[in-house]
Amino acid sequence: MNGILQLFCGTVIHDHDAKLYKYGSRHGTCNAHLLRDLPGMVQLWKLSWAERMRSVLFEMKAYKDKDISSSEPAVTLSGKPAATCCDMETYGKFSACRDECVQDGKHELAQMQKVDFGYVELRKMVAGLTSFKANHMLFLADYSVPFTNNLAERDLRLCKLKENISKTFRSWNGAKRYAVVSSAIATALRSNLPVFTSLVSLLGRGAEL
């Protein structure tokens, strides 16, 4: 973490990693991992509630995406405020559907023995969904919070690839320059800006790449 998270004051998106809870101001759950785990419960253990939970997650994400897309700046200028969070009525409906799925999961768990195949995995899943409900739904309560942390993981993928190929940097300054250039390129691409022009512009303003 090397001093980065210690200075971060925003929302941290992760998978309930205990050591990360001492950083940032809020904590959201990466729902991508949940979406990958739920199908296994459907296929291996025939748990219908898991499929319903997965559908509820997709519906929440679809609602958020549609709500944001229907609140473009041009619309805002006409008098309609831009959407920054889910309205309370809709949030309540999604919350109730989610709670119903979790209760079904608890019922399924109660019917199993501790030695049964999949008991431990189901117990952890139900416990996480129960204890971290607000974290799982934070992306809907606040539209600035992403549904997953995949963007951060994608940005780190090239660093991991370089580590696998080169194993190390020849100097600490070289590593820092690589990180700065990679960050500048990723930011330009995400902002739909030409990469070369953006780097030239940064150098022209005295940026140290």
Q: What is the mean pLDDT of the chain?
A: 84
Contact predicate 60/137, CB 8 Å: yes
- Residues 141 and 174 occupy one common structural domain: no
- Residues 139 and 161 occupy one common structural domain: no
Q: Which residues pair with 11 in a beta bridge?
A: 26
pLDDT above 50 (res 75):
no
- Residues 38 and 93 occupy one common structural domain: yes
Instruction: Give the global pTM.
Output: 0.75
pLDDT above 50 (res 78):
no
Within-domain flag for 18: no
- Residues 141 and 96 occupy one common structural domain: yes
Q: Which domain holds residue 193?
A: 151-204
Contact predicate 109/123, CB 8 Å: yes
Specify the 3-state DSSP secondary structure of 2. Answer: coil
- Residues 132 and 196 occupy one common structural domain: no
Within-domain flag for 35: yes
Specify the 3-state DSSP secondary structure of 192. Answer: coil
Within-domain flag for 140: yes
Within-domain flag for 175: yes
- Residues 32 and 58 occupy one common structural domain: yes
Q: pLDDT higher for 150 or 130?
A: 130
Q: pLDDT higher for 197 or 208?
A: 197
Contact predicate 145/139, CB 8 Å: yes
